[in-house]
Amino acid sequence: MHIKDLCTICDHWTITNIVHDKDTATFTCTHCKNEFDLPWDTNTRFLIRSIRHSLKKRMKKHPELAALKNEGDAIKVENSES
């Protein structure tokens, strides 16, 4: 599955690829290829839903995030934490 997310390593908004099995979810930034693993459980699924929900609010302030369509697309947004 893919989500739009802020990579903490390259500091760009990008498409994050999530691959999971019954035990582990691997999140990969498609811009810088940074990877990290989380247990595939209720907390991780809630985290993914939370990211998607907060993105809707951020897109109102930063409509350029809508341009993220394909793996590897990346946008540097100033003050993206707000």
- Give the number of domains in the chain: 1
Does residue 81 sit within a domain?
Answer: no
Residue 31 is part of which domain span?
2-69
In a domain, 79, yes or no: no
- pLDDT tens digits, residue range 47-81? 999 999 999 889 999 999 999 999 999 999 876 44
Structural tokens at position 31: 């811009």
Q: What is the DSSP string of 34-80?
A: -EEEEE-SHHHHHHHHHHHHHHHHHHHH-GGGGG--STT-EE--TTT
Structural domain includes residue 77: no
**Tens of pLDDT along 3-42?**
999 999 999 999 999 999 999 999 999 999 999 999 999 9
